[in-house]
Structure 1
Amino acid sequence: MPYQATHWATEPTRQAIDALQGANLLEFGTPWCGHCQGAQPLLQAALSAYPDLQHIKVEDGPGRPLGRSYRVKLWPTLIFLRDGKEVARLVRPESEQQIAQALALIAP
């Protein structure tokens, strides 16, 4: 599953995320966040090189347990996972290159 344009309808549990296999990108943000909107073309371009990587887009906010478990403070926050473990994190990425470099750390 490549680039995910919309947020998942149901937030996954931390246990489900920890159990993921392979390379996964976990994105926290909201549809109305200007920084999140600005990052979408960068994400889409960077993820185009990784069609098999799962992009999990989660709406975040007060009281959302998954975001709190990752200590998310600003949006968008990108968490790059390998076998459910955090390998890298980007907060408010400013370039496709930043995202591509982090993806290279997790993707085969």
Structure 2
Amino acid sequence: MKTRYIPEAPQRAEIDASKGPLLLEFGANWCGHCMAAQPPLEQAFAGGESVTHYKVEDGPGRPLGRSFRVKLWPTFIFLLDGEEKARVVRPLRAEDLSVGFAQIDP
């Protein structure tokens, strides 16, 4: 599990062509909602070592977030083989995220 949002994001084509389970997390390191979502994410991510996790710093002019129509932070997008299977916005409980992980569990 990644712990910091990074400005370098993969290209949308790379995400679309990905194989296996993938979690895209959009947010910002200074965002209070994003910080509040980290303990539930840590709980839900336990045992998810096979899931590729991108923690993408989002904001104006960031093309990956716009391509997924991200409006609020944090937004978690669960993909399997490049296809979106679930989306969770501003989770407060690990159970909220566990639903998404269940959708991409191979």
Same-fold call, TM > 0.5? yes
Runs in 1 of length 4+ with deviation above 3 angstroms?
none
Aligned residues: 106
Q: Which amino acid aligns with 1:64?
A: R
Relative to structure 2, which stretch is displaced further, 83-92 or 43-52?
Answer: 43-52
**What are the Cα deviations for residues 58-92 of structure 1, in whole angstroms up to 9, with x where unaligned?**
00000000000000000000000000110000110
Map residues 77-92 of structure 1 onto 2, 5 A cutoff.
77-92=75-90
Shift of 1:8: 3.2
CA distance in 1 between counterparts of 2:99 and 2:69 reads 22
Structure 1 partner of 2:52: 54
TM-superposition CA deviations, 1:29-55 (whole Å, max 9, x none): 000000000001111111112111111
Q: Deviations over 1:2-22 (max 9, x none)?
A: x11012351111011111101
- TM-score normalized by structure 1? 0.94
Structure 1 runs not aligned, ≥5 long: none
Q: Is the 8 A contact 2:7 2:58 kept in 1?
A: no
Percent identity, aligned pairs only, is: 53
